[in-house]
Structure 1
């Protein structure tokens, strides 16, 4: 199941019902299983996974990809919400992550 989430296209993330159907169980049972093992719902896990993918890409980014481009590649469409949630997740703004890896153009 986790492999399916990791392989999911961020642009077309699966729904809880789709994941449950693929696992051959109910959405409620899948939710309980995720909560008991990971401490997160399946959708929270998927969202955390996507945030970690964005953070990894920001940390490796030496090109001029914008934060917005990276975020949308991973299925985050509302940039204002993305920035607030990113800060909540990592304790810094996405731009703070980039500042540490990109040289300044001074």
Structure 2
């Protein structure tokens, strides 16, 4: 048994409908996305989508979306944030309440967005 097979033993295979939901989220993360949109993309009920996101990915669909967006903002700030306003980057990724965005960002990355930009300038 090789290391790839060993790594896969502890993880259940993600169902196709969850892969569709994740792909939909990745492709439309900058736009307003509702649970209804995710349901339609996956082709399953809201309850099934919610339960299986938790089961296979460890988070709800909405938290998955939020984390994906926060990661995208962080990547944009690290790559070129010094040339762009933090608020503009956040809004481009669907964050319209900037105070909440900043709090969520700090909670996930343990630093405020401006620190990320500052660090990207020094590297």
Q: Which residue of 2 aligns with 1:41?
A: 60
Q: TM-score, normalised by structure 2?
A: 0.77
Distance in 2 (CA, whole Å) between partners of 1:6 and 1:62 is 21
Q: Is 2:27 aligned against 1:7? A: yes
Aligned length: 102
Following TM superposition, by how much is the alpha carbon of 1:41 offset from its aligned partner in structure 2, in angstroms?
0.6
Q: Which residue of 1 aligns with 2:73?
A: 54
Question: How far does residue 22 in structure 1 lie from its aligned partner after superposition?
Answer: 2.5
User: After TM superposition, what 4+ stretches of structure 1 lie above 6 angstroms from structure 2?
Assistant: none
TM-score (norm 1): 0.89
Q: Which moved more, 1:61-70 or 1:94-103?
A: 61-70
Q: Which runs of 5+ in 1 are unaligned?
A: none
- Structure 2 spans left out of the alignment, 5+ residues: 1-19
Structure with greater helix percent: 2
